[in-house]
Amino acid sequence: MKRTLICLICAFIILCVVSCGADGTVDSTAATVESTTVADRTAQTVPTSIRYTKSHMGRTLYKYEADLTCGIYTYTEYDRDGGVDHTTSVDLTSDAIARFYADIADVDITSWGDRYADDTYSGAWWNMTVTFTDNTEKSLGGNILHPDGFDVLISAMRSLTCDDRI
């Protein structure tokens, strides 16, 4: 409960001010990530939170949430009836968050489509919602298909906490 309240307060502060230093100036490193390998894109809006869910036959199995603003990573596993079986939360270090941003610097999440699905497949599905520094959201999902760079993002999420369940 205390962690949730702290996270909500952090989110509110971020909504009010993108990111200010102690002197009140805007910290541009929190708002953009520079990309030198993509010629037509000098900066991209970066994620502040990522929610990734896996389901099978309409039943949620796992949910992963990385709140990069508050520095909290949460893994939730669901039981057969759809109720929460257990939840694990980990405080993220600033080094882990910086490494995450470096790992995904060349992934243009904003260009991803909304649906990546092979309509002949009806088993496991994934859904993802990414919230960016400008408070826009990107929601997408699919089954066995993924956008370019998706594996890089998932690998970066794994490296946040060494969680190989993703």
Would you write out the chain's pLDDT as a tens digit for each of its 166 residues? Answer: 344 333 433 333 333 323 333 333 333 333 333 333 333 333 447 899 999 999 988 888 889 999 998 999 999 989 888 889 989 899 999 999 999 999 999 999 999 999 998 887 777 899 999 999 988 999 999 998 999 999 999 999 988 876 666 5
Domain of residue 142: give its range: 2-161
What domain count does the chain have? Answer: 1
Give 51-119 as a 3 state SS string. EEEEEECCEEEEEEEEECCCCEEEEEEECCCCCEEEEEEEECCHHHHHHHHHHCCCCCHHHCCCEECCC
- Residue 10 DSSP symbol: H
Q: Is residue 34 part of a domain?
A: yes
Residue 100 CA to residue 66 CA, distance in Å, equals: 11
The whole-number pLDDT of residue 8 equals 35
pLDDT in tens, 51-96: 999 998 888 888 999 999 899 999 998 988 888 998 989 999 999 9
**Does a structural domain hold residue 73?**
yes
- Rounded to 5°, the CA angle 91-153-48 comes to 50
Does residue 86 lie in a domain region? yes
User: What is the pTM assigned to this prediction?
Assistant: 0.69
Is residue 166 a part of any domain in this protein?
A: no
What is the structure's pLDDT at 126?
Answer: 93
CATH of the domain at 78: 3.30.1560
Q: Is 22 part of any domain?
A: yes
Predicted pLDDT at 7: 40
| Coil, strand or helix at 6 | helix
72: in domain: yes
Residue 163 confidence (pLDDT):
63
Angle between helices 150-161 and 94-103 (to 10 degrees): 170
Using CA atoms, how far residue 10 sits from 28, 72, 93, 152, in Å, is: 18, 11, 16, 27
